[in-house]
Structure 1
Amino acid sequence: MNQLLVLFIAIPFLAFLVSLFWQNKSERAIASIVRFTKVLYIIVSLSFAVWWIWNGLQPVSYHLATLYQTDHFVFAFELFYDEVTAVFSIVGALLFFLVATFSKYYMHRDEGYKRFFNTILLFAAGYNFIILSGNFETLFIGWEIKGVCSFLLIAFYRNRYLPVKNAFKAISYYRISDVSLMLCMWMMHHLTHQNITFDKLGEAKNMAIQSGHAGMAVFIVCMMILPAAIKSAQFPFTAWLPRAMEGPTASSAIFYGSLSVHIGVFLLLRTHPFWEDMLWAKIVIIIIGATTAIVATFIARVQPTVKTQIAYSSAAQIGLMFIEVAIGWHWLVLVHFAGNAFLRTYQLLVSPSVLNYLVHHQYFHYTPPEQKPISKIKASLYMLGIKEWNLDSIMFTYLWSPFKWLGKQLQFLQSSIFIGILAFTGLALLTIGYTYQNSIPSSGGALPLIVMGIALAVILFAFSYRQSALKAWAYLLIAHMFIIAAVLLNTTHINSIEIIFYVSGILPAFLLGYYCLQKIKAIDNDISLNQYHGYVYEQETTGLLFLFAVIGMLGFPVTAAFIGIDVLFTYIESSQGALIILMGLCLLFIELSAFRILLRIFMGPHKKLNHPVAFRSS
């Protein structure tokens, strides 16, 4: 029966592949595939839960595959099933069926009908990867899939300004959580020197205590709490949640009302054995949850739009779940999760009907509100709530603006001469690092720091550059060269296959992206990043290919670069804090720079006005 865990992932993923062969106008066929998939998913979820209960509620684990293994590194897929997985899978199966059935009619004759259901099915596979994960590597695959699906559904109305802008905001926060989770995996590897499974996290905690590595344990816990807080829209990262509801109401219900937004709670539940004895971690989680519950409640009570009210109300409830997890009331958390997920899904799905009823109702039963004096405190809280406590502007000012300012100071790099110099230098460092790695002193030298610093500088320039998209794209490849060179210069030995893993994903993605940008440039010779071009309107296939290039450039799980990036992390020692911070920032801003190019060139309002174009405020 353990092997049947694979069905949870295989069913939605195979349905996703099958749905790709149908055209957008084949609504009945697509809906039938989705309905059959969701019914089968419900049957599998309930049947496995019954079998698990019948066998005494014992946790079930299954080793799916080992993709790569060396003396110092193992990349394996592990599946795990317990009471947390059972609740999340059953709730997920029921909500997927509910939303899919609703969407069959809600999305009728929409030009993105097929695209919507393709993304929903892929998200279902990613969601199951997360809830069934038995180790961090498996969880991270689902984490990445879910992030990209979220981005695609926020930007579902891709020829409008606000959905595209808010999709970039959401993916910016998501990438911070991605890098944080990668750093957690990196430090866990150095602590345990093995591919640790979730059922052995208690042993890893004892290992940290007995070996005197309390600092490593503190770092790991911080890198667990941060992505959990971001994914669940906890303070101070709450502002992205209502902005993520720019997509269709059905996707808002399944993503940001019910399942996706609770993944942070799942992460805390799954990693609880590691930090359950750390009082400071519990206090931090309780403070985050309590602050979010209070602030989000104040905001939700005064917001004028229904989606914003529901978003902040959901964040407030998740804040209470954080408190419950920290206290140890895990069954209460699971009940709370199920109740909140079903309630928010219901509220979002009926919100258009409710608004229509209220608009109709006020014509016949409208009574003007009474003018009542309010205290200064209430007025202040009201204004703070209306402005969402300025959370969005604070994050932009203090988190992103400093990096954009640094990138603007590097505008001298836009010269073609500097591109040639940097490309030649990167190749030279790669050659030296690979050829003479046995004779170069490793660990702690200044040279890897300098090279990684150059990589970050190049990426920040591409992140803030507003001229040619081709130049920005080329600089991302150059940055990858410097990243590999820095890791080569930091170690005395690295397997050639590991470099091949990395390059085999990055180089084809770069060439594909370069081809797409050249094709767009041939249309009107303008691919600047000063504005949105919206070329997906007339070049949909090219836009899809460039999306593949972007996710390949980032080391998405569809390429071998995903393994390569994970392996390269292990060659940075736990004592090299500065180097790992630089590499983390590089991976963070590479994704943001690549997605920025995608959004500016292919999405947003179409620059040609020979057809109707939506207003920026729509």
Structure 2
Amino acid sequence: MLSDVLLGRLAALAVLSPAAAFAALGAYLLLLRTPSERVVSRAVLSALSASLAASLAIWGSAVAAPRAFLQVELGHWFATGSYAFEVVLLVDRLSATMMVLVSLIALTVGRFSVAYLHREPGFARFFLLLALFSTGMLALVSAGTVDLLFAGWELVGATSVLLVAFFHERAAPPRAAVRVYITYRLCDIGLLGGAVLMHDLARSSQWGEVFGGAPWPGAAAPLGPGAATALALCLFLAAMGKSAQFPLGSWLPRAMEGPTPSSALFYGAISVHAGVYLMLRVAPLLQRSPAASAVIACVGAATAVYGTMVGRVQADVKNALAHATMTQVGLMFVEIGLGLYRLALVHLFAHACLRCLQMLRAPSALRDAQEIRAAHAGEPLPTLGLAARVLPAALVRRAYWLALDRFHLEALQERLVAAPLMRLGRLLDGIERRWVAALSGWPERASGDPGEQDAPGAEGRAMAFDPPASDTKGART
């Protein structure tokens, strides 16, 4: 078994290796010129290989240790008043397993992308974002404090949005990226609120101090049931957004606008499981709060039903895989809600590997399906499932059409959430403008907005932007 000092250095190496590659490539791109594809890919893949080697060594030591739990303190990022942002890494069986998964999948996808994105104009940009994503995800899964986890969480979200909009010359990818960004922003309020609650209730941000320092999954957290429920539900809101849980998962199929390697990395293997990891990390809170566990199980079950019904009627292979991922992640939340934490971790690892392979093979899946269909030409069609044989035909047809329209989930979100928020925003904007007009003494227009032409200095600004007299005369004639 490795010493604690060596384990700490390996954990730091695993997180900082892709960060160093990102910093070096970013500086080169900013100061000099775009390096060749070979230089870019070798720099990032070498960093990910070092991260994988360090993660494997940590995992072997954590599995061999009977009570593996080590906090690695790397110092303070900054301090203000009585608060200090502590950079603490946590080495235990959960974090070690996730570090191996993240580095392995990132390295595999990076190697696949060398040929897939060859001569793509955004080749260097993709690998730069791959290095940044790996840094954020490794920091997320190895974070010893909720503050560091929040920083990694935001890095993962930012790179996710940028890779969805990778093909920004088309209209659809930026629109999909905006939807992903809005969903992330709204749901991350839960993680921010959970971090504030943890500081307020437990007087600490370190997982070891809040949960007692026992090896994962540990015993029940030393908090009251009410406090544990509030904290767990805040964190679960963030997990719902990141892991595309019902009814917040309509962004997941749209996120497939990005390159296939990024779809495999984010929405098949790693990023979509970040919410599952967060719930596994706060397992001591769930042991203290049966109500939060019940909510997690119910949301996961609803997501699994929704994902499997919608995924069965998709004509596009990436959309079908996206809903299949949603279904499996929902089942993981059910397992967590039932207290089967180790089973959920095994399910996460196996599903991430399988779905990554399926996503990477998605471009050739249609050809495979055509070959299978041609091989079975002339044979009778397969019989319908049990539900189609038991339920009335009218109900089956209605469910089919609802699944095709994805149960009108996006329309309901726009009508019940987006439209009221927009009306509220316009109302508050009008109130603010009227207050500004009243306090500044500017006259208001009929619409209630202060007349910009009547504001102090407006005449001078208008004169400055007026065209020359000759141009004005010519325009009038």
Shorter-chain TM-score above 0.5: yes
User: How many Å separate the matches in 2 of 1:114 and 1:123?
Assistant: 14
Please point out which of 209, 222, 238 is paired with 1:200.
Answer: 209
Q: Which residue pairs with 2:312 in the alignment? A: 301
Question: How big is the shift at 1:86?
Answer: 1.5
Q: What is the SS of the residue equivalent to 2:282?
A: helix
Q: 2:13 aligns with which of 1, 4, 7?
A: 7
Amino acid aligned to 2:205:
I
Q: Give 1:367 deviation, angstroms.
A: 6.0
**Are 2:163 and 1:145 equivalent residues in the alignment?**
no
- Tell whether 2:63 aligns with 1:53: yes
Deviations 1:469-522 (A, max 9, x none): xxxxxxxxxxxxxxxxxxxxxxxxxxxxxxxxxxxxxxxxxxxxxxxxxxxxx9
| Correspondence for 2:22 | 16
Q: 1:113 to 1:24 in 2, by over 3 A?
A: farther
CA contact 2:295–2:337 (8 Å) conserved in 1: no
> Aligned residue pairs: how many?
422
Deviation (angstroms), 1:39: 1.8
CA distance in 1, matches of 2:432, 2:254: 33
- Are the equivalent residues in 2 in contact too, given 1:181–1:223 (CA < 8 A)? yes
2:228/2:288 contact within 8 Å kept: no
User: Is 1:375 equivalent to 2:393 in the alignment?
Assistant: yes
TM-superposed CA distance for 1:408, in Å, is 2.9
On the 8 A contact 1:268/1:325 being kept in 2, the answer is yes
Amino acid at match of 1:80: L
Query: 8 Å contact 2:10–2:55 — kept in the other structure?
Result: no
Equivalence for 2:106? 96
Q: Distance in 2 between matches of 1:295 and 1:278?
A: 26
Confirm or deny: 8 A CA contact 2:76 2:87 kept in the other structure. yes
Once the two structures are TM-superposed, the CA of residue 328 in structure 1 deviates from its matched residue by 2.4
Structure 2 distance, partners of 1:294, 1:169, is: 23
Q: In 1, distance between residues paired with 2:44 and 2:77?
A: 30
Q: Distance in 2 between matches of 1:18 and 1:111?
A: 20
Asked whether the 8 Å contact 2:105–2:265 carries over to 1, the reply is yes
Is the Cα–Cα contact under 8 Å of residues 225 and 285 in structure 1 kept in the other structure? yes
Q: How much does 1:52 deviate? A: 2.9
C-alpha distance in structure 2 between counterparts of 1:419 and 1:62, whole Å: 55
Equivalents in 2 of 1:177, 1:410: separation in Å? 22
Distance 2:135 2:105 in 1: 14
Matched, 1:248 2:259: yes
- TM-superposed CA distance for 1:70, in Å, is 5.6
> Hey, what does 2:424 align to over in structure 1?
406
Letter in 1 for 2:10: L
Paired residues for 1:428-447 under 5 Å: none
Residue 315 of structure 2 aligns with an amino acid whose one-letter code is P
- More moved, 198-207 vs 257-266: 198-207
> What's the counterpart of residue 329 of structure 2?
318
Choose from 246, 263, 266 the match for 1:235.
Answer: 246
Matches of 1:269 and 1:106, distance apart in 2? 34
Aligned-partner Cα distance in 2 for 1:304–1:254: 22
The one-letter amino acid paired with 2:211 is G
CA contact (8 A) 2:52 2:100 kept: yes
Cα separation, partners in 2 of 1:190 and 1:166, compared to 1, 3 Å? same
Higher relative contact order structure (alpha carbons within 8 Å, sequence separation ≥ 6):
1
Question: Is 2:196 the counterpart of 1:190?
Answer: no
Deviation at 1:275, TM superposition (A): 2.4
TM-score, structure 2 length as denominator? 0.81
| Letter matched to residue 185 of structure 1 | A
2:403 paired residue among 385, 391, 397: 385
In 2 relative to 1, CA 342–398 (structure 1 residues): closer, same or farther, beyond 3 Å? same
Is contact 1:201-1:271 (8 Å) kept? no
Q: 1:369 to 1:308 in 2, by over 3 A?
A: farther
How far, CA to CA, are the matches of 1:75 and 1:419 in structure 2?
Answer: 42
User: Is 2:121 the counterpart of 1:115?
Assistant: no
Superposed CA RMSD: 3.0
Question: Are the counterparts in 1 of residues 293 and 338 from structure 2 also a CA contact under 8 Å?
Answer: yes
Residue 69 of structure 1: how far off its partner (Å): 4.1
Question: Is 1:80 the equivalent of 2:90?
Answer: yes
Counterparts of 2:16 and 2:438, CA distance in 1? 46
| Structure 2 Cα separation of the partners of residues 256 and 165 of structure 1 | 17
- The Cα of 1:386 is off from its aligned counterpart by 0.8
1:27 is displaced (CA, Å) by 0.7
* One-letter amino acid matched to 1:152: L
- Residues 76 and 195 in structure 1, CA contact (< 8 A), matched pair in contact too: no
How much has 1:411 moved relative to structure 2? 5.9
Alpha-carbon distance in 1 for matches of 2:124, 2:315: 32
Check conservation: 1:299, 1:386, Cα contact below 8 A: yes
Instruction: State the match for 2:361 in structure 1.
Output: 350
Whether the 8 Å contact between 2:188 and 2:241 is mirrored in structure 1 is no
Determine helix, strand or coil for the equivalent of 1:304. coil
Q: Using a 3 Å threshold, how does the CA distance of structure 1 residues 417 and 276 change in structure 2: closer, same or farther? A: closer
Alpha carbons of structure 1 residues 364 and 82: separation in structure 2 relative to 1, 3 Å: closer
CA distance in 2, matches of 1:85, 1:331: 13
**Displacement of 1:415:** 7.1
Structure 2: segments with no counterpart, 5+ residues: 1-5, 214-219, 443-448, 450-464, 466-477
Name which of structure 1's ranges 100-109 and 196-205 shifts more when overlaid on structure 2.
Answer: 196-205
> 2:231 is matched with which residue: 211, 216, 220?
220
Partners of 1:73 and 1:195 within 8 A in 2: no
Query: 1:184–1:364: structure 2 CA closer, same or farther, 3 Å change rule?
Result: closer
Cα distance in 1 for partners of 2:410, 2:134 equals: 29
Deviation at 1:366, TM superposition (A): 5.9
Match of 1:487 in 2: none
Kindly indicate whether the alpha-carbon contact (under 8 Å) linking 2:243 and 2:329 is maintained by their aligned counterparts in 1: yes
Name 1:484's counterpart in structure 2.
Answer: none
Whether the aligned pair in 1 keeps the contact of 2:14 and 2:55 (CA below 8 Å) is yes
